[in-house]
A and B are shown apart, each in its own frame.
Chain A
Amino acid sequence: MPEKRTMVCIICPVGCNIEVCMDDKKICSISGNSCKRGADYVLAECTNPSRTLTSVMRVIGAQSAMIPVKSDKPVPKELLFECMKEINGHQIHAPVKMGEVVIENILNTGVDIIATRSIQ
């Protein structure tokens, strides 16, 4: 049963209103976008919505209590809260280098969680 869905594209400040027609999880048509990037965004959003996750992790033996981290690639949207649980269940010892992998292949997604700050 084909379904219509509208969404606002977030790739650039224009924010085109894009209409997507979906038939059983497959896209049958896309309209309203002014460029290909918008079409790509909508395709990803409908089939496998993903988000870059940014958070903080507890660090031991440093001046600060927490160190900022991020996923090096977007993770599937539905795994965000589970990833947060993983990150909050971990702690790391100082020193930590900018870009260092603090959790490898989180929840088997192929995505690493990396430090976004160097800490002594």
Chain B
Amino acid sequence: MKEIDLVVIGGGPAGMAAAISAHKNGIRDILIIERDSSLGGILNQCIHNGFGLHIFGEELTGPEYAWRFAQQVEELGIECKLNTMVLDISGDKTITAVNSTEGVMRIQAKAVMLGMGCRERNRGALGIPGMRPAGIFTAGTAQRFVNIEGYLPGRKVVILGSGDIGLIMARRMTLEGAEVRMVCEIMPYSGGLTRNIVQCLEDFGIPLKLSHTIIGIHGKDRLEGVTVAAVDKNRVPLMETAEYVECDTLLLSVGLIPENELSKEAGILMDPVTLGPVVNESMETSLEGVFACGNAVHVHDLVDNVTKEAMLAGECAAKYILGSGRSEGCKALKTVAGNGIRYVVPQLVCKEALGKESKLFFRVDNVYKNIRIVAAVGDKILYETRKLKVSPGEMESIRLHASIAGSMGDEGEIIVSLEEC
């Protein structure tokens, strides 16, 4: 059985940055395993721009951003197995993988980096009633068809979900000659960036129907139309507002879920809110020597943050392999999502293991204006700041400075919450 110091699962932005970081921190025996035919992950199909503003100070397209890291991976001579699928990770860090040239292989890793990214919620998860005609795609699938395979999925489109992927595809389909009839959003606010509302919807006169959802699908072999209805404040459809909208294509942009089949099979402790593994400040999971980063841990808005998170994870994985990682006796405090907060990552923090760039990331559970963000252990406030506006679609962070770490005791929980100003 082959032995490798660090096996990185996933060659997207998370995996690439983690591998590069581990290399920079002294590890040479690294293998990236990627199921697709090239590195880059989802960025390869994100042909629009807006990536890299923080990391590079430029607005790059997805492929350009990915290329910068793929170049580094190549220059550093980091080994990659493409077209290779990881089937299993055992509790003792044995990786089982398969490809069509080598067949099934087993690799014993000293450390593992989970960088599998995330998947999309689909129609089955929503349970929209109706038959199962062709013409219903998740926005990401449609994006793959248009941008990678060169196919137009349909000509008369309705989009459910106004997160950035839905908005980006509204523009993409329109530019390729389709008619996007509307974007429906069940919440009373859009989850996407204002810039995308302007450049993807307003630019093309595509109506955005807030507090609306799809309650029926029509058509037997091919989609013929959908029934759209307004919803009340509890998101229950108001049947008297039901309206038939003719279309041949429905794109679903209704949520992303961290991809963790491998993590669950390995017996790694999962967080039921993020749907990713529970990680500590070193991005290590409950399985010793197994680290995780990127969308597999929690879904990010900016790839720049994925890169930063992966760089930290790679550094910590390197230290673990070299025997200079966090000590066994490290007493970790739990982080808790308090008032107004949906989740906090990392879920465990050991103050001795904190670095200069250590941060707590969190998402709020609603749109709030004029709010105070507070991180406290019991009565002791570690950090507080004011914000004009926070929303669920924009991840926030708190830097854990040395001074903050210093005032953390060994007991209690770090509660992040929102308070009135």
Interface residues of A (CB under 8 A from B): 7-8, 10, 13-15, 51-56, 58, 63-66, 68, 70, 77, 80-81, 84, 88, 98, 116-118
Contacts and interface: CB of A to CB of B under 8 A. Distances in A.
Contact of A98 (B67, B147, B195): B67
Interface in B51-88: 59, 61-64, 67
Nearest to A88: B176
A116 B51 CA distance: 13
A55 B150 CA distance: 11
Interface in B97-133: none
Given A10-B199, A55-B47, A116-B47, A66 B176 contact: no
B147 A68 contact: yes
A118 B44 CA distance: 11
Given A55-B175, A117-B67, 13 more contacts: A8-B197, A8-B198, A10-B194, A10-B199, A13-B193, A51-B203, A54-B49, A54-B61, A56-B47, A65-B150, A66-B148, A84-B176, A117-B44
B48 interface: yes
Instruction: Specify which of A7, A15, A68 lies most central, judged by the most chain B CB atoms within 10 Å of its CB.
Output: A68
A66 B199 contact: no
B386 to A, nearest CB: 14
Contacts of B193: 13
A111 to B, nearest CB: 14
B234 interface: no
Contacts of A70: 47, 49, 61
Contacts of B194: 8, 10, 13, 15
B147 A66 contact: yes
B141 to A, nearest CB: 16
B277 to A, nearest CB: 30
A54 B47 contact: yes
